[in-house]
Each structure stands twice: as C-alpha cells, then as structure tokens.
Chains A and B, each alone.
Chain A
Amino acid sequence: MLVRDAFKTATRSLTHGKMRSILTMLGIVIGIASVIILMSIGQSAQNLILGQVQSVGSNLIIIAPGAPSGSGFSPPASSQGIVITSLKQRDADSLAREPSIYAVASLVSGQAEVVQGNTNKTVSYQGVSAEMFSVRNLALSKGYPFTKGDIDSANHVAVIGPDLATKLFGTYIDPLNKTIRLKNISFRVVGVLSKGGTGMGGVDQGNIVIIPITVAQKQLLGVNHFSTILVEADPNYDINFVKSRITFLLRQNHDISDPTKDDFIIMTQADLLSIVGSITSILTLFLAAIASISLIVGGIGIMNIMLVSVTERTREIGLRKAVGATDSDILQQFLIESVLLTFAGGVIGIVFGATIVSVIYIVLTTFFSSVGWTFSFPLSAVILGLAVSGVAGIAFGIYPARQAGRKNPIDALRYE
C-alpha cells in the first residue's frame, strides 16, 4: 500500500469520528502544552537570572568566605547559615592596593524590622562600603549615595529601595532626610534606589536598606568580618590574572600555604553564569519531566481508543485482508492513525502552550513590570513537542496496530 493511500485512509477514519478524535487528542494537547509552558517559563526564568548575573559586569569578582569544593563550586558557606569570619578589613585593604584591581567593595548583611512612624516592615539590610555604589552600578532615583566620610564616621545614613520608600512614606511624601529606625537605631534617608533589579544574593532591591558597613558591623551585627567582598578588576588586565592575584594576596593574609586549605571562594561572572545556568537548566528539565507525566497519561488514552477502534473495525480489517492487505499494511494503517492523532495533538498543544505563555508574559509585564521578565519561547520546546508527540503516537499505537495486523482474516470477517 502506498504511504499516500495509507495517510488518506487514516485521515478518513479519523475525520469520520471527529468528536472521538478530538477527545482522544486532548490528553496529548494538554501534555504537550504543559511541557511547552513549563519549558518556556523555565527558559524565561533562566534568561532573567542570567541577565541579572551578566548585569553585574564581566570584570566583577565576588569573594565569599568558606572552603571551595573539590570540583566546581558549591554554594558559599554563608548561604547555608554557617558564619565564617575569614574575610576582614585587612583583606579589603591589601586588595585595594593591588594594581590590577580597580575598586574593592565590602558587604555584610542581615534582616531586621524597619520602622517609620506607625509603619513597619521586615527587610534585608546591607552594610556596604562607599565603593559598592559604583562597583554594583547602583543607580539612585533620589538623593545621593553615602560617602567614605560617612563610613569612616559611622554616620547613621541610609539608602532605601523604591518599594520600601513607597511603603514607609507613601507616594506623595519625599523620603529624603526623613528618619527610619532599624533595630532601634535611627537612620536618615539620603537616597532612594531606582526601580528594578535584584541585589546581591537574590535580595529584593526594591525593599532593601543600605547603610554604612561600619555601622552595620559594629552597631547592628557586632562583627568585624565581611560576608562578601566585591572586586572590580581593571579592564586592562585579564580576569583570570586578577583572580590569581586575589588568591595570592588572600592566602598571604591568611597564612595559607596548602591550596586545599583555602578559606575563601573566588567567583567571576563566568563562574556564576555557569553555576546559575546549570541549576536553571536542571530545574527546567525537572519541570518538563513532571509535565511529561501528563503526556504518558495522554498516550495511554490514545492506546485505549486505538484498541477500541481495532475491535470496532474488526470486520473492516477482515475485509481488507481478504482483498489483499498484508499484516504490515494493516499495522501501517493503524499506526499512521495513531501518529496522526498524537502529531495533530502535538501541534495544537504547541499553539495552545504558546498562547498560554503569551498570556503569562502579558500578565507579568503588566502587573510585575519591576521583575524585568522577558518572553522566551524556545525552539527546542517546539521541536521536542513535535518529536515527543510523534514518538508517543508510535509508542502507544504500536500495540493496537500489531493487534490489528495479526487478525486472522476469516475470524475477523466473522466478528459480530
């Protein structure tokens, strides 16, 4: 039998029972749409996170306390709740003297309740050195960043996030030079950050309070170490060279001769991109794997309906075999029907999934514009969707098709 004729015959059978075909396809449509939606959201989230990592600049180097793992990078100890006090002011000072380093900014962080009048909110605060504003390209919509003089004098000044400013002062009151209280210490607001973006360590920048590092260390946290040091490498130097210089200086400061005993982790933007990229890829695949469960359910539905169809059309099979169809002709016909069903389901699923993703994008960009969500509809998801639907047609259609092909013509003709 010509493939063209087999397709014609299969199409005719499917269009004969339109409602049944549509309902049978539904499982595959939902399955493929789920895969498309989750892969697209996963990809968009990955793009968003990677974009934020890239926004910190390719010449930025992050130094965190803790021992590096044997292969690749593990999360910094501080992110696991372990306090490691290996990074000190002495380290920042020696790094600042290094010619291949353009700027050094240090940071400590914590959480506390911020109070203004009768309004309060639990927020993340960061104690930073004055260089942090330039190193992180932190733009202000109002006021000025605090200065080195404020750091040295441990002045109670603060730069706050735009959402927090609105929350504490409302839309119409200018927060500049107003007072807020953090752990019962009063701070004068000297600046408000611009909208958008996520701060170091995934902190929501819209609700952050940034204060001088000296105040945070001595008066809020009672520590003399840093949780992170950010280094802006001189663009005239190779980033890996700068990294090696930092390693050398820190080992010297910490009296470390055995590299396996390092008590600091150095990460460049490339390292971060690699870590974030692999984490989000695994997450996307995990989501797609969950969605594929619905595909399996849809496929079993297809198999069920195909088995019913084979039984219902037993006499037709008998007739076709009587007039010359071979086992493989019958198998081919039913297999094509199954693949056409799943493939059509796959195409509809992709269109449906793309529509849902577009709606999600519109909702996110309309109501959560500060997130900076970008629309991503990966071609790989489309190809995967089509391939999976085709394979599902074969996988779930082969058994019913074989059953049909193996029927004895005379038994099939006698079937009532």
Chain B
Amino acid sequence: MIEVHDLQKEYVEEETPTRALCGVTLSIKKGEFVSIMGPSGSGKSTLLQILSFLDRPTRGSYTFQGKSIDEMADQELAHVRNKDMGFVFQSFNLLSRLTVYDNVEIPLLYSDILPVKRRTLVEEAVRSVGLADKLHTEAGKLSGGQKQRVAIARALVTEPNVIFADEPTGNLDSASGLQIMEILESLHDRGRTVILVTHETQTAEFANRIIRMKDGMVESDTTIVANRIRVNLK
C-alpha cells in the first residue's frame, strides 16, 4: 500500500539547511497498525506528514496504492487525502464554534458524496466513537478526550483506507488516551491501516509494528506478534 525508498527531506531555515529525513526506505501493507517512535527531532512527524501527503519529500520516491506521488498534482493529492486518508492530530484541530456534527461533516464537504447521504455517514461516525448524544454540542464545550473522539469520527467519516494519527494521546490524560487507542485498535481490527506517531512506548505497543527513528533514519523496524494479548492483559 505504501512504498517509500530513500526518502529525504530538507528544510532551509535562515539559509541553513536542516535534514529532517535522511534516506528512509520502508513499506507498509494494507491493514497494518504501525507505530513510528523516536525522540524529538528524529523525523517521525516529518515522515508522517510526507506519508499523509501533507508535505512533499525533497528527494526519494513514494508510491501510494501503486501510484507515485511525483505523478500527482496538488489537486489530486487533496482528492486522495479526502478519499483514502483520515487524520487525527495531537491538538484535535476542531473548529470550536461549530457543533460536533458540523466538524465531522467537514471532509464530506470536499467529497463527491451527496448531501442526503452525508447525515447518515456523520451520525454513524459519531456513534462509532460513542458521542451520539453530543451530536449538536459545540466542539469547544467538550472535554479533551471527547474532542479527540470527534477528531477520530471526522477521520472516519469518509471511510478512508488509512488513518494517520500524530501523537493522538499527547494532550490527554491516561484514561482518555487509553479510550482513544482502543478506538484506533478497533478500526484496525475492522481492516483499516493505522499509522501512528508517538513518543510513548505504551501507546506504541498497541501497534503490531514499531518503527523507531533517530536522526532522520529508521533505527529499527520491529513486528510485534503478541501485542494484542499484552494489551488485553493491561
């Protein structure tokens, strides 16, 4: 599903180039649950941004669902982000003045899904994260955990193949964080590919594959076979 080869990313700040990624090569299959770990500045977030089409690499190749990113114009990238990708951010990125319904509906506004079908999809997504009773509550009035669940519902509403989550538990207490990870785990169980960036080991262990990064390179790539049992034991 995702193939990257010798991926590099350079930023130029105040005329000084900084290498955020230094030749990352990896592949992610459909249905995998991958955690990308590493200390600050290791390049994990940069890698996620490139994998999720929010940024382009400086060098290297990236093939998503068999098509090279180089062949895609910005408009097509936007279309793929809308149709095949869902996003969960550390800071939720909800529009606080809008209701839960309106926030979750946002990706559908940019899709070709007819307005009559949108309501069902939004209600279904909100119900799946356990917030059916908050459908018409303003997002700004929700707790942190609830906000992140709304963000997950928004990521789910277009029924994407891949969900990208950047530190989804970073702003939450441990109980709320656990709830969020359980939701992501259930999405994976239902066949979705989940790619998660975190610096917390406990959160990373929900995945069945952990990629550790350091200084813009992949330090280790480990598949955990028994993580489900370990999670349940927790």
Interface residues of A (CB under 8 A from B): 1-2, 4-5, 9, 12, 16, 315-316, 318-327, 329, 408-410, 413
CB-nearest residue of chain B to A16: B97
- Name which of B75, B93, B158 has the most chain A CB atoms within 10 A of its CB: B93
CB-CB under 8 A from B158, the residues of chain A are 324
List CB contacts (< 8 Å) of B43-96 with chain A: 49, 52, 54-55, 74-75, 78-79, 81-83, 87, 89, 93, 95
Interface residues of B (CB under 8 A from A): 49, 52, 54-55, 74-75, 78-79, 81-83, 87, 89, 93, 95, 97-98, 102, 106-107, 109-111, 115, 154, 158
CB-CB under 8 A from A326, the residues of chain B are 74-75, 78-79, 110
CB-CB under 8 A from B87, the residues of chain A are 322-323
CB-based contact A1/B95 at 8 Å: no
**Can you list 18 A-B contacts with CB-CB less than 8 angstroms, sorted by A residue number?**
A2-B109, A5-B109, A321-B78, A323-B82, A323-B87, A323-B106, A324-B78, A324-B110, A324-B111, A324-B158, A325-B110, A326-B78, A327-B74, A409-B54, A410-B54, A410-B55, A413-B89, A413-B93
Closest CB-CB distance, A14 to chain B, in whole Å? Answer: 12
CB-based contact B49/A320 at 8 Å: no
CB-nearest residue of chain A to B157: A323
CB-based contact B109/A322 at 8 Å: no
Sort A-B residue pairs by CB-CB distance and give the 9 closest, nearest first.
Answer: A324-B82, A324-B110, A323-B107, A410-B54, A326-B78, A319-B93, A410-B55, A5-B109, A325-B110
Q: How far is the CA of A316 from the CA of B103 in the complex (A)?
A: 11
CB-CB under 8 A from A325, the residues of chain B are 78, 109-110
Which listed residue (B75, B95, B107) contacts A316, Cβ 8 A?
B95
Closest CB-CB distance, B3 to chain A, in whole Å? Answer: 22
Q: How far is the CA of A9 from the CA of B103 in the complex (A)?
A: 11
CB-CB under 8 A from A327, the residues of chain B are 74-75
CB-nearest residue of chain B to A409: B54
CB-based contact A1/B110 at 8 Å: yes
CB-CB under 8 A from A2, the residues of chain B are 109, 115
Q: How far is the CA of A5 from the CA of B93 in the complex (A)?
A: 20
Closest CB-CB distance, B161 to chain A, in whole Å? Answer: 14
**Contacts A2-B115, A413-B89; A323 near B110 (Cβ below 8 A):** yes
CB-based contact B89/A1 at 8 Å: no
CB-CB under 8 A from B79, the residues of chain A are 324, 326
Q: How far is the CA of A137 from the CA of B111 in the complex (A)?
A: 76
Closest CB-CB distance, B22 to chain A, in whole Å? Answer: 19
Given contacts A5-B115, A324-B107, A324-B158, 18 further A-B contacts (CB under 8 A): A2-B109, A4-B115, A12-B98, A319-B95, A322-B52, A322-B54, A322-B81, A323-B81, A323-B82, A323-B154, A324-B78, A324-B79, A324-B83, A326-B74, A327-B75, A408-B55, A409-B54, A410-B55
Closest CB-CB distance, A167 to chain B, in whole Å? Answer: 68
